[in-house]
Structure 1
């Protein structure tokens, strides 16, 4: 028998599950900020009592200014200046010289006797040779050149040396031994203008024959900063040129030098007495030339 196929009953559809909504969470309203407590009013400060201005201390009294020292007025030298025939012969001897510095340099390069050790530049070597040769040929004219050179520099030396030269025998009539430098130059100038036994005796009387040391000796030789001390020997050198005759040029003292050597080396001493760091030998020689030819 045909079995009737039993129909399977269709499964029942389940009703869709209803999703339950989660209960809405109520958002809390943000808490209100508490108002900041009102600031307490600070108590008004009492004004500080005004301070009395400090009394100013009196300024210390300024010391009174000392009056500026006035530079001592140096009296002009009183020596006699040569004006006679010997001075004219000196002018004639220099008349052909156009530049005295160049002439001294030329003489220094020629053959001749060894120079004095204190003629320490070419110009001074030439000056020594010029003065020595002039005095050999014309003694009065040579001594006149030395006296004029010494007299030219003497006021400069007095000004430069100032009080350091006081009581050293630079000025005055008489000193311990012999005459002062100023007086010796005066006596020699008078002999130049009128050579005679009388004027020679006056020069001899002022000449100091007893000096054991000279300015150029190592113990006394001055630096150029104190060059004025060289002049201490100039009156002696001029006097030696007048009163001495022949001698030994190799000696260390004018007591033994020939007269002409005292003239040549005396001119070197005159130039060195005026030489400083600021004054060159060439300028000094040009000044001496002017004084000798005036």
Structure 2
């Protein structure tokens, strides 16, 4: 058996939240944007369900929604408490989180590796111990993984998802049609996180602690890290202060979060920028800097 990896900078997937019970509608909307959408399933516990957009580079989008509004559950019931205290329960709709690849190990834990760094560098980027998670696919197959999330549900830091069952059960890149998109999207070019000027140096230090590497470039208003993927592509993680009216409004209304996701495409689109109903996307020519 191979020794569990200690790499903490491999991008795994990006999470997009839509209104409760809207997975089918959201799937249609992403199809209209030029993505091939694959049914996902309901997560353990039944609080959330998802659909997937899988790319040739092995990365994917998780289109997620809660199965019901909070009012569906009796006040004070265990299910209502779980619904109300879910880490994403009060997130604004759109790009809400991203996951890095964990190693699926309860012994050589990613959380321990990052927490040791955080103690040494004083970044405060501490993670919870790994917890079991999973879902049942529409074909009945059960997928299992380990999750480690930032302490205090810091939405600016990635969580880690490490597979217990084979990753191809969770991320179905086969048959080849699963990763063939009308938009010609091949993978993720970048994730852009926006924050205010006061928070910027703190979050920059935390992301350095999490990834285990200094930024490729860093100024007082923007820092860029190069992440690993499941192929030869190297997505960029960009942290910046607001650079336009849209980002100023985002920072004011949402706070710190993912404002934009860039997608690598073979065929340039007529319009570089589009929006899902709740988030911004950018088309980036494959092989070109964005």
TM-score by length of 2: 0.27
Question: Whose radius of gyration is greater, 1 or 2?
Answer: 1
Going by fraction, where is helix more abundant, 1 or 2? 1
Going by fraction, where is strand more abundant, 1 or 2? 2
TM-score by length of 1: 0.27
